[in-house]
Every structure is written in C-alpha cells, then in structure tokens.
Structure 1
Amino acid sequence: MVDQLTSRLDALHRRMREARIDAYLVPSSDAHLNEYVPEYGRRRMAITGFKGSAGDAIICPDGNHLFVDSRYYLQADEEVDLSKFRVHKLGLSGEHTPSQWLTEMEKERVSIRVGFDPFLLSMQAHSAYLAALHSTESEMVPIDANLVDAVWEDQPLPPSNSIYALHEAVTGIGVAEKLSNVRKEMDEAGAGLLVLTKLDEIAWVTNLRGSDIAFNPVFEAYLVIDLERATCFTRTVPPPALRQALYSLVEFQPYEAYVESMGLASARALETVWLDPSGTTVATRLVLKSDQKVLEKANPVVMLKAIKNEAEIAASREAHRHAAAAKIRSFKVLEDKIASGQAVSELDFSLLLHEEYASEDGFYDLSFTTIAAAGANGAIVHYGDADPDVLLTDGELFLVDSGVQMLGGTTDDTRTVIVGTSSDRQKQMYTKVLRGHINLAMQRFPEGTGGIALDALARTHLWNSGLDYGHGTGHGVGAFLNVHEGPQRIAPRGVDEPMRIGMIVSNEPGYYEAGWGGVRLENLYLVAADDT
C-alpha cells in the first residue's frame, strides 16, 4: 500500500508537470507570513512530514528538498523520510540556501520555471528568488490555486474563532491614538494607503485579540489604513458591541473581500501604497495596477509595536511573576517525585507545568509548545512534543523551555536542571552558558548598538573553549502577542536593528551535543536607559 506522503508527492508531481514547472516552492509560512500557522496552513508539514516551525521545501519531480537551520538539524533527520527528501542543513559548509540551490539547478538545465503560491511568498523573498535566476528564459510562475491544497485530502478548514477587545488599561494606548500615530508616519512618508497582513500587527493596531492560531492570541485578517479610515477584513464578524465601539475608527468587511477591495482601490486611487516587502505577500502586489506607486519599506507598526509603553511593560512584568511562580512550583513537585523514587516522563512534567500555569490568575494559553527535553533530546534545539516514554534519568540534563500568554503579557524562559548527580562536564558546560548569559545581561552599551555586537558577549566563554551554538542569542517578544517579534534580535548576522528603550528581548545562549544533551538558559530583558 502506498503511504500517504508518497501519494501526496506523486499527485503533486503530476500537477507540476501539468503546469510545466520544474520546481515548486512550499514555504513554512501562510498567507500572513506567520511563523506559527493555523492547522489548514501547515502545507510544508503536509508534504514533507517535518513538524518544525521554520524550514522551506522545494518539490521537484526528480528529487525533493527541505532546508532547515541549526535549530532543526536533528529534528529533520528524525522526522523526514530521507528516501524522499534531501535535507539541506543551512550554515554547514557546502550547503545551499533555497535560492542558491535554484541557481545551481538553473546552471544544469540552462533555464527553469519555478512555481509558487503568490499568497505564501513575501515580496522580499520573491525578489531574492528572482535575483537567483540569471537566464532570461527562467521564470518565477505564480499559481493562484495552491498545489499542496489540491493533494491534501484531509486538509482542515480555516479557523473562524471569536474576536474580543482589550481594555485600554491593558494596551496603554487606544485605537484612535494608534491610528493617528500610524497616519502621521504615512503622511511623512508620502503614502496614502498602508496595507498590513501580519496578524500581530493588525491585533496591536486594533487592540483586538483572537484564537485562530495556537499559542498566538491573534485572528486571521487584513487591515488597510488610509488617511481617513481603516478597513479590517476578517473571517469572523466581531460582535455588535465591539463593532459599535470601533464604529468611527475601523470598518469590518468579509475576509474574502480583501483582494477585490485592493483591486478597486488601486483602480481609482493615485496615492502611493505602502507595502512592507518582508511582511506583504506577492499576491497583494499583483492585485494592484502594474503602474501603481508603491513605497517598499518596513511599515511603521513594526517599530511602534516593538517599543512597549508603560502599561505593556507593567503587564509583562506581572505575567512573568505569575509564570515564574508556576514554574518554580513545578520544579519543586518534580524534585519531590524524583526524591521519592517516582518515575517521571517528559510528558508528565509538561502536563504538570501546564496545570500550574493554568492555575495562575490571568492565564490565557501557553505562548508555544513546551519543550521538555530529557537527556539527549536536549540537543534538539526546538524539540517537539514531550514523550510519555522518555523518563527523566539520574545523571542526565533536563531542559525546559516554556512560556505563557497572560492577559497583557507574553513570557518565554528556559531552565536546564540536572536529575540527580551532575558530572564535572555537565557543570562545566552549564557554567559556560550561565557566564555568557550573565555577561550579556549586565552589559551597558551605547545608544544605537545593534544585536550583532551584543551577540558576541553571550558566546565569549564558549568561544574560549572552541565551542559555540548555532542559533541566535535573542529575539523580541510581543505584549500579549507573538512570542517572537522583530525588528530587534541578538544574533551574529542579519538585520542589525539598534536596541531601543522599551524593547523586550530574550537572552538565551546554549550548548548542544548530539547524544549528550543540551544546556540553555533564557530570560527576557527590557532595554532601559542607564541613569548611573
């Protein structure tokens, strides 16, 4: 009997031949370029079997490819059928990025046609792929009907959960003021229309939240803002009281009306449309007239959202107090169980921690799937679901990366503990990671310093021993929003956004070794002025 994945791949290959394309891009993101996507949007998982939150696939009739970064090296090896996919481990010598791999493919074939769903590819990514194709005969071919959807026989339906409003006491700023601040930026940039497709940005501007995506209190929508009105295209009709409260500020339209509305706006308007290349899909650009004036730059909401106000900071601190209390209680229960000789599995602890979190006032949800990795599993940076059959064993490390969504605040922290008696090497590796964490946490730095300079501080003690870790050291965190947000990050390469007062960023150095385990220590920090 042909297995489900083979059947899907065979059907997809047939559709590719019908469309006369040599390769088909399957990114991990969805129409809103989310990191965490709703069930129906997990197309890359459906066609590869890989469950990681990041990683892109290129499907070809003569060979399929999955591209993952260092967080997912081990996970990809475990989850992917290597007879069907070649796993490209980005960052290792000799490995290609997806665009580089297409360049090599083009060299072999002279010209290629690369198919993609324009609703899943950002304008920025599309430009990078175009730049990778050098032959005038090669093409990037937009295909509106997603080919994975066509072969995904049991694809879930899109979510349509309820939408609710946050009180200004929690958000710190009302919708009217937020829209005014956005429009001021639009006016200064000479833009008459701003399109937002990222869900955390839409939720932040409107002070609304939902539950369309697990762990992220957001709702599927588009938001179009001009200098006089804002239109929100949602799958769910907000309750009458909510619509009335926002009556003069935000108009609500059906989600499906977005494309037609943008086309009509482009047909009748001459003003410049502001599209964020990294946060807007190709589909939105294709809907606009070819001669439409477009401003391509990061949208103003990115920075407005990243710099937390006093109410957001206070809510974040309160969320961390509750989350910390719950996690401490969980470790105390674990300690008592181990001391009494009880067997405890990864799943046992994960469920215990969830129960303790849920007992705290204001608990909404986890902010991501808890990573409860015992022993060698700790070497998998983004280890998946806790295993009921993996027991915590004396002498092994236990890494717990977890967080919660509390009303107004989002948390993310990692602790690594030893079960029983620790070895000298475990102590040494833990100490190197801890010293790196403290080194970064205590560092004062000049205004305008970016994450690249700060990143080295967390790695120094590992580097001095010839060691390192493959992931970035820190990421931004939302205010009762996504646990990962930009533009700030602490990493050795990439966009070097200066740290600004009011930003919240993680500090999470680590050390990982296959077969041995991992150590990671993470807290969230607030960028503040140094008054000394």
Structure 2
Amino acid sequence: MQHTSSLAALRSLLNARDLDGMLIPRADAHQSEYSAPFDDKLAFISGFDGSAGLALILADRALLLVDGRYQVQARQQVNVDEFEIHHLHDEPVHLWMRDNLPAGKRIAFEPMLMVNSQYENLRTSGCDLVAVNDDPLNEIWSTRPAAPQGAIRQMPDAISGESSASKCARVAHALTQEGADYLALTLPDNIAWLLNVRGSDIAMSPVPLSFALVKNDGAVEWFVDSAKLQQLDSEVREAVTVQNPEDFLTRCQQLAAGKSFLLDGDNAPVAVRFAVETGGGDIKWQADPITLMKANKNETELEGYRASHVQDGAAWVNFLAWLSHEVPLREAAGNPITELEAQEKQLAFRQECDNFLEQSFGTISAAAGNAAMCHYHSAPETNAAITSNEFYLNDSGGQYFNGTTDATRTLNFGQLDGQRRLHYTAVLKGFLSLISLQFPEGTQGHQLDAFARRPLWELGLDYDHGTGHGVGHYLLIHENPHRMAKKVNPWPMVPGNILTIEPGYYLAGSHGIRIENQVEVVASQAGFCKFASLTLIPIDLSAVELPLMSEQEIAWLDEYHQHVREKLSPLVSSDARPWLFEATAPVRTQRA
C-alpha cells in the first residue's frame, strides 16, 4: 500500500531555513537496524519501513535509496510519482549528488544520525553540508510516537559467562594499548554486552538505547534515562556513573581538552567528532574493540546458543508437522492456511518453550510471489494463501534467555514445475557447499561467499543480499563485525564466532527460496576451521532434483538429519514425531 507523504511540509520547512535539501537516513543516533517508532523518520517521510535506506529530499525531486533486498518492497510502499527509487550501494548518494547537483547546494543533515565515514563521503559531493541539531522533522510530525522508555534488566554472569568488571578491565587494557583516554560508545548492543544488561526500547532487539564513555582505568559513565533502571540491582547501578543522555555530547566536549578519544568511524555519529574537536581533544579512528570482543563467544555463551537451538528446533518441528498436515486439508476444503495464520501458529509453538522471551525479528512468512521480496512481512492486505503448487518461505527466530536463533526453510506441499525445482536444488547445493566447507583459521567472510553462489552462477542466477551474518547472544539478530557477502569484510573467522549461512534465489512475481542455518565456527584439523550447525530443523527435500546431488551432499544431509532426529525426537509432540522421522529419513527413501 503506497504512502501519502509529508514532502510538501518538509520542503516548506527547508525553504524557510534557506536549505536546498535534506538527507534522511534509516538510522537513529545508535545506528540501530530496527528503530523505535519515535526514530523512524524515513518511514514517516516516505512510507518505506525496511531496515536499510536513505532519502534525499530536494525542492523538485525526492530520492529513496535502498539495497537489493528492498527494491520490490520500496516500489510497493512508496509513491513512485513522488520518489525515485535508487540502489543504496550501486549508486551511493554522495556520487549521485556529485553528478546531479550544482556545487554549493545547501544540504541539511542531522549529525547524530550520520556516522563519520558517511560524512566524509558526502564531503566529496561538492555540496555544502549544513548540520542541523534541532530535529527539524519534529515540527511537521504531529503524530510522532513517544520516545521509548523500556525497562533495563540484568544479564546474569551465569548466562553471560563473564562479569561486567572483567569486561571493563579488558576494554581499559585495550585503550591503554592504543594510547587512548576514552572510548565513546554509541552502539546499544556493545553497551549491553559491556555492562551485562539487556533492554526493551525496541521490540525484538533487547538493547538499551543509551550512550557510554569508558575511561582507560575502566570507569564507565552511562548516559541513560534513570527511569529505565528500576529493575537493576543497586550494585549494578553503583558500578557506573549514571548521566542524562542529553548531556552526552556536552560531556565529551568537557572531557576533550588534552585527551584522546577512540571513535569508530563506521558507527559513531559525526556529532561526537564535532564535540571532541570543539573541546580540543584528539581522535583515534579505530574499530570499537568491544565489537570483536563480543563476537568471540565464550563457552558459557556457546552452550546457551546450543541449548536455545534445541528448544527452537522442537518448536519448528511441531510447527512444520502441523503445517504439513493442515495445508492440503485446508486447501481441499477451500479454506487455505494464510501467511499470517501460519506465523501466529509458529509463535504459539515457540511460546511453549522454556526460556523463550520474544521473537528475534519480525517473521517472514511468505507464500508464492511474496517470497520474492527478501524481507517481506505479511499484512492483512497482502496475506496470501499457502497452497500446494507454490513455495512457502518462513524465516524466523527467537530471543531466548540464553541465546538468539535465526533460521529459514522453504517448503513444498505438492508438485512443483521443473524451473522451481531446479532453482531450489541450486540454492540447496550452494548451502551445502558452504556449510560443509573446511577453511583456514582467520579466513574472512568475503573469501567464502562464492562457495554458496556457485551453483546459482552456473545457471546464470544470483541473489542480491549477503550469504551470512553474525548473531548476538540474546542480543541483535544481525551482529557485527562478521559477514559473508561479496563486499570485503576484513574480520578473521575463528572458533567461537556465530554466523548464519543463507543463500537464496528470488524471481519477482513468482517465487522466493532461501535455506538458512545458524552455525558455530569450530576448530577442525590443525590450522583449519569448519562450521557446526546450531540450527536443528529438517530441510525439505521434496523439491530437490536428486540426480543433481553428489554423494557427498547426500551424505551430509543424511548425517545432519540423523542428528536432528536424535536431538529432537524426545522433545517434540507425539503428533509431530512421525512427521519428524519421515522428514529426517535417509535421502534416497524420500520423495524425489
């Protein structure tokens, strides 16, 4: 459904301020992938509600730039008579501005919403960048939701595996090694990890929206609304100095004289740079050391992931068994199961699990052509039926007290045409190629990406999203720094890293296919690593062209399915157990 925008009101506001345009990113002050409604300015101005995008509003044009996942969705949600849709990465906004705008155009931006690396790119555009600090959209957003006030709770050391004091000491040592006096923290998941807390400001993202300063002696100033801290024990609150979040930039400027601040140029708002430089401080541009510390999971965290995936796998099997039984019956009765009904039933099964708290992201429950939108979310006006002659794709996960899960299965309930079967087989072969791989310790994600794409490339096909991402420990579903994609990712993979493997293929208006397991990087033979699957869910083989599968691929599937069966059969419902045994039977006994 297309959006009625507020472009006229914004243009009037810009004109009154003698501005030629304004950049509006899909970002808050913390670079959150999923923003609180209060911060979702891009959705307000354009109607696009995906997790990555940027708008450039000019007096006579408006651009919306989104990545490959959202090219279809953007055209459905946005009034294309008002907005031109561009590719966020293939045509970066600073290059578009350089090539299409006269030099000296005054383009507004909010420095708390723009990181330093983006700012430096924009400076090459030839435009005059005008920092605005008073949240100008507030003047025209009459129905703006309230700022989030989610309660913050403790993450016990018994679940996190390390005390906050120990983590602060490690960060202090890293600062000393780098000759820095302060680390400015603006990423809520890094703050949550450091302080062993979890928040509730954003649904399905258990992080506290806040800022922090860590001194090179381990002392922490936490810039957070004190009203959020009522559930924390006094010793947790007393271990830090609590400050008003509105004072964060002022405090950075106050402390800056003669001091060195470590800032992450890809995550810290450029407003922090401005504050430190105004105060006379020095900046060391470096990756936030917490990001890598957090990604290298300890054994307690790894045990939590494994346990949460057993629970999640049992919920998946109960759901898939129900779906497999009900889809043909309901279709024959003329009352087919819909996308929304399926995702509600799946959530109900998850809610039966011990330690389940909430979903880890909005479920992608997508039938037929809807699945061609990688990040589609069903709504009443798009709620399609799940039928026997179309694929059904389900990408979902859970936040458990001891871990975070993320998995995708593409399902077939009948007879599919040869093209769909060939596409599904290619995606599965790519998935198997990567998940079964042994690779040198320290290999980087982009060096592995092509293994998952090769079977599709051989058909002249590809997919326009990454192949895998990091996953937080009861934290964010997409966790930095590790990623497997075409784009260079310089972070070495070592035992203890958690990622997903999720190749796919999408044919607009027809179908979408993705197969995703969450994996743990584990040691293999000397100097090498491999992936151990955390996800325990049968892979649908009914749409596979078995003659195209190698003996090695079939052996991996049989071993994986045997493991799934052994782990889950004691936990699933009695109704689901026969389905589980059939779904995990050796490959050659299954329906071709």
Aligned to 2:115: 122
Cα contact 2:23–2:108 (8 A) shared by 1:
yes
The answer as to 2:141 corresponding to 1:152 is yes
Per-residue displacement from partner, 1:246-302 (whole Å, max 9, x unpaired)?
255312222222232222212xx4221111111110111222243311111101001
The answer as to 2:43 corresponding to 1:45 is yes
The answer as to 2:276 corresponding to 1:285 is no
Per-residue displacement from partner, 1:390-417 (whole Å, max 9, x unpaired)?
1112210000000110002111110000
Aligned to 2:177: 188
Matches within 5 A, 1:180-329: 180-228=169-217, 229-237=219-227, 239=229, 242=232, 244-246=234-236, 249-266=239-256, 269-290=257-278, 291-329=280-318
Counterpart Cα distance in 2 of 1:142 and 1:260: 17
Counterpart Cα distance in 2 of 1:253 and 1:506: 37
- The percent of aligned pairs where both chains have the same amino acid is 33
Listed as ranges, the gaps of 5+ residues in structure 2 are 527-592
Aligned to 2:534: none
Q: State the SS of the aligned residue for 1:77.
A: helix
The answer as to 2:509 corresponding to 1:515 is yes
Match of 1:17 among 6, 15, 18: 15
Aligned to 1:103: 98
- Which amino acid is the alignment partner of residue 397 of structure 2? G
Q: State the SS of the aligned residue for 1:364.
A: strand
Aligned to 2:77: 79
Aligned to 1:140: 129
Counterpart Cα distance in 1 of 2:103 and 2:259: 41
CA displacement at 1:427 relative to structure 2: 1.9
Query: Structure 1 residues 490 and 79 mapped into 2: Cα distance closer, same or farther (>3 Å)?
Result: same
Instruction: Quote the RMSD (CA, aligned, Å).
Output: 1.7
Cα contact 2:328–2:413 (8 A) shared by 1:
no
TM-score, length of structure 1 as denominator length: 0.94
- Which amino acid is the alignment partner of residue 13 of structure 2? R
Aligned to 1:353: 346
CA displacement at 1:128 relative to structure 2: 1.1
Counterpart Cα distance in 1 of 2:442 and 2:226: 42
Say which is worse superposed, 287-296 or 119-128, in terms of deviation. 287-296
Match of 2:497 among 474, 499, 503: 503
Matches within 5 A, 1:429-444: 429-444=423-438
Counterpart Cα distance in 1 of 2:451 and 2:369: 27
Say which is worse superposed, 184-193 or 389-398, in terms of deviation. 389-398
Cα contact 2:54–2:88 (8 A) shared by 1:
no
Q: State the SS of the aligned residue for 1:288.
A: helix
- Which amino acid is the alignment partner of residue 501 of structure 1? P
Matches within 5 A, 1:396-411: 396-411=390-405
Cα contact 1:372–1:386 (8 A) shared by 2:
no
Matches within 5 A, 1:319-468: 319-341=308-330, 342-387=335-380, 389-468=383-462
Q: State the SS of the aligned residue for 2:259.
A: coil
CA displacement at 1:165 relative to structure 2: 0.4
Cα contact 1:371–1:386 (8 A) shared by 2:
no
- Which amino acid is the alignment partner of residue 199 of structure 2? G
Counterpart Cα distance in 1 of 2:23 and 2:354: 44
Q: State the SS of the aligned residue for 1:273.
A: strand
Say which is worse superposed, 422-431 or 45-54, in terms of deviation. 422-431
Q: State the SS of the aligned residue for 1:528.
A: strand
Q: State the SS of the aligned residue for 2:460.
A: coil
- Which amino acid is the alignment partner of residue 378 of structure 2? D
CA displacement at 1:99 relative to structure 2: 1.0
Aligned to 1:26: 24
Counterpart Cα distance in 1 of 2:213 and 2:409: 41
TM-score, length of structure 2 as denominator length: 0.85
CA displacement at 1:425 relative to structure 2: 2.1
CA displacement at 1:323 relative to structure 2: 1.2
Cα contact 1:44–1:50 (8 A) shared by 2:
yes
Query: Structure 1 residues 289 and 468 mapped into 2: Cα distance closer, same or farther (>3 Å)?
Result: closer
CA displacement at 1:66 relative to structure 2: 0.2
Counterpart Cα distance in 2 of 1:79 and 1:282: 30
Cα contact 1:375–1:396 (8 A) shared by 2:
yes
Counterpart Cα distance in 1 of 2:259 and 2:136: 35
- Which amino acid is the alignment partner of residue 303 of structure 1? L
Q: State the SS of the aligned residue for 1:357.
A: helix
CA displacement at 1:423 relative to structure 2: 2.4
Cα contact 1:160–1:236 (8 A) shared by 2:
no
Aligned to 2:577: none
Query: Structure 1 residues 390 and 186 mapped into 2: Cα distance closer, same or farther (>3 Å)?
Result: same
Cα contact 1:216–1:367 (8 A) shared by 2:
yes
Cα contact 2:501–2:518 (8 A) shared by 1:
yes
Match of 1:89 among 62, 83, 87: 87
- Number of residues of Structure 1 aligned to a counterpart in Structure 2: 518
- Which amino acid is the alignment partner of residue 96 of structure 1? E
Match of 1:482 among 470, 476, 495: 476
Counterpart Cα distance in 1 of 2:4 and 2:39: 17
CA displacement at 1:240 relative to structure 2: 6.2
Query: Structure 1 residues 264 and 180 mapped into 2: Cα distance closer, same or farther (>3 Å)?
Result: same
Cα contact 1:409–1:480 (8 A) shared by 2:
yes
CA displacement at 1:45 relative to structure 2: 0.4
Q: State the SS of the aligned residue for 1:237.
A: helix
Query: Structure 1 residues 44 and 445 mapped into 2: Cα distance closer, same or farther (>3 Å)?
Result: same
CA displacement at 1:153 relative to structure 2: 1.1
Counterpart Cα distance in 1 of 2:451 and 2:124: 35
CA displacement at 1:311 relative to structure 2: 0.8
Counterpart Cα distance in 1 of 2:517 and 2:296: 18
